[in-house]
Amino acid sequence: MPGTAGDMDHLFRRKRVGLLKPLLSLSLVFVSFLMIHKLKLAEKDGARQKHARETYWCDAECASSKKGGGKTAAGSGAQRAPSGNRSSWDAQILNCSEDASLRSQGWFQRLDPRFHQFVLYRHCRYFPMLLNHPEKCAGGEVHLLMVVKSVIEQHDRREAVRKTWGKERAVEGRKITTLFLLGSPASGKDAKNLQKLIEYEDRLYGDILQWDFMDTFFNLTLKEVNFLKWFDLYCPGVRFVFKGDDDVFVNTNNLLDLIDFRVEARREADTMVGDTILKAIPIRNRQSKYYIPRELYDKPYPPYVGGGGFLMSSQLARRLFVASEDVELYPIDDVFLGMCLEKLRLAPETHPGFRTFGITKHKVSPMNSEPCFFKQLILVHKLGAEELLRMWSVVHREDLVCAKKTSI
């Protein structure tokens, strides 16, 4: 019969197509299921990472203290020994939840909302490290460790410090090493690209310590406690620590002279020298960067050194680490160190060579740009990157003649 073979072939093709349709549908359903499953996993992973960035992380001790009824690491009352027996940074990546019990307390409800997150998470104090350099204190004794607080965006300031007072070198056999302390980019910034840039900078110089907490004003105290723990762990051979900001001028030779004087006078052990602030009280002006509400702190501050820059001995740094673990975190970092000193029944010493408020408080004063003052002093705050480079060059010119010792 004509056409029979063609009809049969057409019939079989239709049957095959009829079978393929449900198979394709099943395949599409299966692929869709897999894609949805993968997206859900990615979403959960992204949420975990976002939560880690936007809140805080802490170590196992912090997490266990939360499970134990809301006690914080600072408020446990236990005196902890230095961590010299540990061999590596041990802060674990654990979700350190807020202390929700605070929300029902009257003082917290009256507290300025700007401080809520700080208070809810201040039991979280040790964080995972993103960039670490345990080798910086190895390979022989470091006489002076220069530790500089910075933020990722201030690359030009770090470059200026590396070319001037923070340049790693040996002065008459005394080794000087430099480190910069950073947190993570704050939310709302181009965090991924900024992180890549800082990792590239660290590959070039190998001098950055970075922790996984947001780099904000209130978190400056986290740089203090995390550095103290890091120093206790990795720096057994260091003798002195200078700690300061990335916008200061430091006359390194004068700083070394001060160290020599402390050693010769056998006054090394309890050394903390800087621009000491006495009888200060919390600032109640809500417009001030340093505003503190009464609900958070309502008594005079202990003596403390201005955070722009100060010198301390390694012995005191280790004692401060132990003391700091039993002091509740405070949103102003230099005041917090004063609280730790008070716990040790010590007070900082003032030295006229440290000018953390500048040479004069009036920026337009010609004294603030007079190189002979910089030649005589140890530290001057505050200079931008270009100002620092220019002043360093002028102060170290051989033809600079200062007729007499300057005083202010």
pLDDT digits (tens, 9 = 90+) for 109-143: 999 999 999 999 999 999 999 999 999 998 778 99
Q: How far, CA to CA in Å, does 171 sit from each of 226, 252, 394?
A: 29, 10, 20
Query: What's residue 87's pLDDT?
Result: 66
Does position 13 have pLDDT exceeding 70, yes or no? no
Query: What's residue 247's pLDDT?
Result: 96
Query: What's residue 187's pLDDT?
Result: 72
Does position 32 have pLDDT exceeding 80, yes or no? no
- Cα separation, 47 vs 92, in Å, equals 18
Query: What's residue 45's pLDDT?
Result: 42
Q: How far, CA to CA in Å, does 239 sit from each of 143, 259, 270, 314?
A: 5, 10, 12, 5
What's the average model confidence in pLDDT over 72-100?
A: 57
What's the average model confidence in pLDDT over 300-317?
A: 97
- Cα separation, 390 vs 264, in Å, equals 34
- Cα separation, 122 vs 128, in Å, equals 16
Structure tokens at 354: 């440290």
Provide the mean pLDDT of the chain. Answer: 82
What is the DSSP code (8-state) at residue 283?
A: B
What's the average model confidence in pLDDT over 286-294?
A: 96
**H/E stretch holding 354:** strand 354-355
Query: What's residue 86's pLDDT?
Result: 53
Q: Enumerate the H helices of 168-292 as residue ranges.
A: 191-205, 220-234, 252-264
What's the average model confidence in pLDDT over 37-50?
A: 41
Using 50, 70 and 90 to split pLDDT, how confident is the model at 262?
Answer: very high
Calculate the CA 69 to chain-centre distance. Answer: 29
Using 50, 70 and 90 to split pLDDT, how confident is the model at 33?
Answer: very low
| pTM for the predicted model, two decimal places | 0.78
Query: DSSP characters for 182-197?
Result: EEEPPTTS-HHHHHHH
Q: Report the SS3 class of residue 288.
A: coil
Q: Between these two residues, 380 and 59, which has the higher pLDDT value?
A: 380
How do strand 379-381 and strand 354-355 relate by DSSP bridges? parallel
Does position 362 have pLDDT exceeding 90, yes or no? no
Among 310, 149, 318, CA closest to 229: 318
Q: Residue 232 contacts by C-beta under 8 Å, 6 or more apart in sequence?
A: 82, 83, 84, 317, 318, 321
CATH among 1.10.30, 3.30.56, 1.20.1740, 3.90.550 for 100-371+380-392: 3.90.550
pLDDT per residue as tens digits for the range 195-244: 999 999 999 999 999 999 999 999 999 999 999 999 999 999 999 999 99
Q: Where are the beta strands (DSSP E) in 118-203?
A: 129-131, 144-149, 169-171, 174-184
